[in-house]
């Protein structure tokens, strides 16, 4: 491995890890704050996302000599936000365990492709657009609540996005984070908690509570976000860079690790798309796995210091977190809308999107599940030609 390692792979690993440790972490904190989770719950969640998935990434990347980095499903985490308003955290964790078991069985059975093709992608992405929309709206609200924090961060993000060469050296989200940190210092808006700021990880262990309502609401949408949205994207970007990911193994690994990370309160594991895209974007294909291993090592360190980073970010104003999370979601939200309404199943996607955005639970089952159900029903009634073409 040391012979295969090099500067380009180290640089790719640093950029990829910084992406994972900024906007996506801000999303977890925003979801947790909305759902009433404690600082201890959030630190434990982040520990599982990074440390445990880092171990899996290192093991699988070394075993297959491929860049196979596993983190957590961001759309799945966003689905959890509304669920925490009417379920306890341990009921949600019970749904994580059930989702992991379902994915493990699908991976072992070899039926993954059938499962991935069962729900039309436009309707899935309409659900994703619906649950992500609130982050885009919160970004706008951040301008109202803290203009001198949100505005410089957004300007930095768009300025770097408009300069592709510069963006390759300094990703727009990292630039926004740096500018935001300077703005916090300038405005004296950083309010650390009393006592020591630094602490090592001491993850909580949760006993899951299995609620039928929570499992009906979350298990299928969570499995879909992992298998179709996240793993599908991760497998596609690796294939574009010459790697053939072992689909059944990836699915089984996601399922098994999801049940392990659920013990400390973390959302389901997935094969990450953006990180694997970044680490396989340059250099020799046979050496890309070294960048994946380095990302895994960074993840171990970040996970061990999860309480420190949690306290650091929670000490920042809410507008800072909302801006960082909103900027991280912009491209994903754009892609979700494009896939949903570009071509086939557009009416079913529209129904799914509207039901999801309305966020009205029925029988204590959240809107994302009903969005999928009603979107599929609308497609079956009114878009049968699209269904026939998809089947062929």
Q: Is the pLDDT of residue 55 over 60?
A: yes
Does 274 or 59 have the greater pLDDT score?
59
Look at the chain and report how many structural domains it folds into. 1
Task: Calculate mean pLDDT across residues 18-45.
Answer: 90
Q: Is residue 294 part of a domain?
A: yes
- pLDDT, averaged across the chain: 90
d(CA 345, CA 379): 6
d(CA 75, CA 127): 9
CA 215 vs CA 23, 90, 211: distances in Å = 28, 12, 6
Q: Is the pLDDT of residue 117 over 60?
A: yes
Q: Is residue 196 part of a domain?
A: no
Element (H, E) at 369: helix 367-382
Residue 391: which pLDDT band, with cuts at 50, 70 and 90? low
3-state secondary structure of 283: coil
**Which residues, in sequence order, are bridge partners of residue 362?**
365
Q: Model confidence over 170-182: pLDDT tens digits?
A: 888 889 989 999 9
CA 208 vs CA 84, 89, 90, 264: distances in Å = 14, 9, 5, 10
Domain residues for the domain of 59 are 7-140+210-318
Q: Is the pLDDT of residue 154 over 90?
A: yes
C-alpha 138 chain-centroid distance:
18
3-state secondary structure of 289: helix
Instruction: Work out the number of other CB atoms within 10 angstroms of the CB of residue 112.
Output: 19
Percent of the chain clearing pLDDT 70 (strictly above): 99
Residue 18: which pLDDT band, with cuts at 50, 70 and 90? confident
d(CA 331, CA 8): 25
d(CA 253, CA 247): 10
- What pLDDT is attached to residue 147? 94
d(CA 280, CA 66): 9
Q: Is the pLDDT of residue 284 over 70?
A: yes
Which residues, 6 or more positions from 39, have their beta carbon under 8 angstroms from its beta carbon? 307, 310, 311, 314
Ordered DSSP codes for 46-90 = HHIIIIIHHHHHHHHHHHHTS---EEE-HHHHHHHHHHTTTS-HH
Contact 157, 176 (CB under 8 A): yes
Residue 50: which pLDDT band, with cuts at 50, 70 and 90? very high
Taking alpha carbons only, the member of 233, 236, 251, 214 closest to residue 97 is: 214
Token code pair at residue 385: 């030609």
Does 88 or 389 have the greater pLDDT score?
88
Q: Is residue 167 part of a domain?
A: no
Contact 295, 279 (CB under 8 A): yes
d(CA 30, CA 335): 22
Taking alpha carbons only, the member of 172, 178, 174, 183 closest to residue 142 is: 183
Residue count of the chain, please give it.
392
CA 280 vs CA 14, 157, 224, 351: distances in Å = 13, 24, 25, 37
Instruction: Work out the number of other CB atoms within 10 angstroms of the CB of residue 242.
Output: 12
Q: Is residue 345 part of a domain?
A: no
Taking alpha carbons only, the member of 53, 29, 55 closest to residue 42 is: 29
Contact 306, 266 (CB under 8 A): no
Q: Is residue 162 part of a domain?
A: no
Residue 75: which pLDDT band, with cuts at 50, 70 and 90? confident
Residue 392: which pLDDT band, with cuts at 50, 70 and 90? low
């Amino acid at each position: 491995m040391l012979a295969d390692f090099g500067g380009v792979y180290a640089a790719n690993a640093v950029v990829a890890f910084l992406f994972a440790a900024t906007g996506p972490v801000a999303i977890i904190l925003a979801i947790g704050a909305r759902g009433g989770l404690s600082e201890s719950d959030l630190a434990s969640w982040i520990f599982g996302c990074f440390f445990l998935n880092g171990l899996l990434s290192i093991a699988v990347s070394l075993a297959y000599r491929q860049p196979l980095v596993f983190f957590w499903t961001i759309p799945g985490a966003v689905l959890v936000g509304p669920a925490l308003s009417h379920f306890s955290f341990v009921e949600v964790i019970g749904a994580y365990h059930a989702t992991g078991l379902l994915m493990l069985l699908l991976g072992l059975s070899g039926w993954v492709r059938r499962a991935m093709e069962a729900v039309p992608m436009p309707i899935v992405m309409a659900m994703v657009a619906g649950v992500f929309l609130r982050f885009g709206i919160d970004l706008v609200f951040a301008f109202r609540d803290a203009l001198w924090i949100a505005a410089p961060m957004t300007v930095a993000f768009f300025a770097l996005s408009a300069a592709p060469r510069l963006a390759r050296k300094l990703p727009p989200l990292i630039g926004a984070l740096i500018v935001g940190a300077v703005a916090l210092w300038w405005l004296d808006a950083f309010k650390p908690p009393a006592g020591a700021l630094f602490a090592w990880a001491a993850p909580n262990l949760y006993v899951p509570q299995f609620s039928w309502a929570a499992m009906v609401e979350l298990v299928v949408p969570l499995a879909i976000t992992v298998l179709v949205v996240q793993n599908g994207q991760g497998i596609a970007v690796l294939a574009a860079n010459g790697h053939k990911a072992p689909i059944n193994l990836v699915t089984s690994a996601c399922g098994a690790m999801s049940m392990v990370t659920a013990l400390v309160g973390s959302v389901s594991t997935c094969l990450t798309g953006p990180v694997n895209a970044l680490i396989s974007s340059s250099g020799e294909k046979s050496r890309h796995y070294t960048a994946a291993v380095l990302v895994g090592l960074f993840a171990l360190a970040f996970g061990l210091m999860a309480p420190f980073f949690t306290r650091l970010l929670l000490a920042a104003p809410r507008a800072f977190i909302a801006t960082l999370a909103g900027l991280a979601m912009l491209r994903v939200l754009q892609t979700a809308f494009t896939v949903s309404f570009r071509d086939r199943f557009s009416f079913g996607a529209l129904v799914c999107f509207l039901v999801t955005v309305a966020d009205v639970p029925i029988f204590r089952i959240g809107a994302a599940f009903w969005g999928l159900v009603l979107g599929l029903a609308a497609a079956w009634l009114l878009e049968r030609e699209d269904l026939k073409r998809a089947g062929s």
